Amino acid sequence: MSSPNISSESTVILGATLIDGTGQDPMSNAAIVIQGASSTFFTCLGTVSSGACNTTGGGLLNTGTIAVQANTNSQTVTSNGITSATALYIGAFTTVPRLDVKAEAVNASGNTAGKIQALVTGVGQGSAFGIILGKNSNVPVINVSQGASIIASVTTNTVSPTKNIATATAPFSLVSEAILT
From first to last of its 181 residues, the chain has per-residue pLDDT tens of 333 443 344 444 444 444 455 556 656 677 888 999 899 989 999 999 888 999 988 999 999 999 999 898 888 777 777 889 999 999 999 999 999 999 999 999 999 999 999 999 999 889 999 999 999 999 999 999 999 999 999 999 988 888 888 888 888 889 999 999 8
N- to C-terminal Cα separation, the chain: 40
Residue 147, in any domain of the structure: yes
Residue type, 75: Q
Q: Is 15 part of a structural domain of the chain?
A: no
CA distances from 74 to 28, 123, 126 (A): 17, 6, 10
Tell me, yes or no, whether 18 lies in a domain.
no
Number of H helices, E strands in the chain: 0, 17
Contact 156, 72 (CB under 8 A): yes
Distance (Å, whole) CA 90 – CA 53: 15
- pTM beyond 0.75: the answer is yes
Please state, in angstroms and rounded to a whole number, the distance separating the CA atoms of residues 17 and 53. Answer: 25
* 112 within a domain of the structure (yes/no): yes
- The answer to whether residue 25 sits within a structural domain is no
Cβ 112 vs Cβ 149: under 8 Å = no
- Sheet strands side by side (includes 43-44): 43-44, 94-95, 137-138
Do 106 and 120 form a contact (C-beta atoms < 8 A)? no
The number of angstroms, rounded, from the C-alpha of 134 to the middle of its chain's C-alpha atoms is 11
Q: What sign for the dihedral angle of Cα 98, 101, 105, 106?
A: positive
**4 in a structural domain:** no
Q: Is the four-CA dihedral 25, 36, 83, 73 of positive or negative sign?
A: negative
Domain range for residue 71?
A: 30-160+173-180
How many domains, the chain? 1
pLDDT for res 9: 47
pLDDT the model gives residue 7: 39
Task: Enumerate the β-bridge partners of residue 52.
Answer: 49
Identify whether 92 is part of a domain.
yes
Is 5 inside a domain boundary? no
